[in-house]
Amino acid sequence: MRSAMHELIGQIKSFLTFNYAERRGIVVLTLLIIMVEVTNAFLPYMIKKESIDISSFEEELALFEIALRQPDTLKSDEGKSFKPKKKQNPDYTYKKAVPSRPPVIVEINTADSAALVSLYGIGAVFADRIIKYRGLLGGFYSTEQLLEVYGMDTIRYDQIKDHIRADTGHVNKIPVNEAGFKTLLRHPYLDYETVKAIVNYRQYTDSIPNMDILRKVIAYDPIFEKIRGYIEF
């Protein structure tokens, strides 16, 4: 038991005992700590404080106080009250002057690309599409048919509708009793079934005499109403 106690005491002594290098390190560390503390204590006395000159600020403050004591300057020398400017009518809105465009009226059944491009919002691409679609139709019997041109929307159409017209005298009509199957099918308003019905009726009755019979042959009013302006007997 005693030997164990002596051994424990020996281990504690060896743990708490410093060699020469460790003692030297402790001394150096202690000196550094003391130097830092002394420097922090005397540093405020070593820095020179700069004085701030507030004389200019005091002068400006004095001038401001004098200005506050001056009489009201909104009255004229003759004692007349100052009248503020009349406020502008809040309902008035400034409108930028826009030079008026000369009126342009384009007949869309005979217009070339240059004439169509003169319309607001119609470029070379749209002009080419209008001419190609006009060729497929045989002409426009209504300006609203421009809405069927690829890419044409109501906004663009509304911008040009007052500057265009369609002369139906330039519409090329199809002789419904003479035109072949391919000629009829080439028209954008006629689909395969409708053309087939027309050709079959002609084979059995020799001809279609009038619009009433054509309406019955087509048997679909939306197609009939669109194609009737392009048919002749």
Around Cβ 17, how many Cβ atoms within 10 Å?
Answer: 9
Q: Where are the alpha helices (DSSP H) in the chain?
A: 2-16, 20-46, 55-68, 113-117, 124-137, 154-160, 181-185, 192-205, 211-218, 221-227
CA distances to 56, 62, 99, 134, 183 from 173, in Å:
96, 97, 42, 13, 12
> Chain-centre distance of CA 219, in angstroms?
47
**Is pLDDT of 177 > 90?**
yes
| Average pLDDT rounded to a whole number, residues 85-109 | 65
To the question of pTM greater than 0.75 for the whole model, the response is: no
Nearest to 135 by CA among 99, 111, 106: 111
* Mean predicted confidence (pLDDT) in 229-233: 93
Lowest-pLDDT range of 79-88, 98-107, 110-119 = 79-88
pLDDT per position as a tens digit, 113-167: 999 999 998 999 999 999 999 999 999 999 999 999 999 999 999 999 999 999 9
Per-residue tokens: 52: 């701030």
What mean pLDDT is reported for the chain? 83
The predicted pLDDT at position 97 comes to: 55
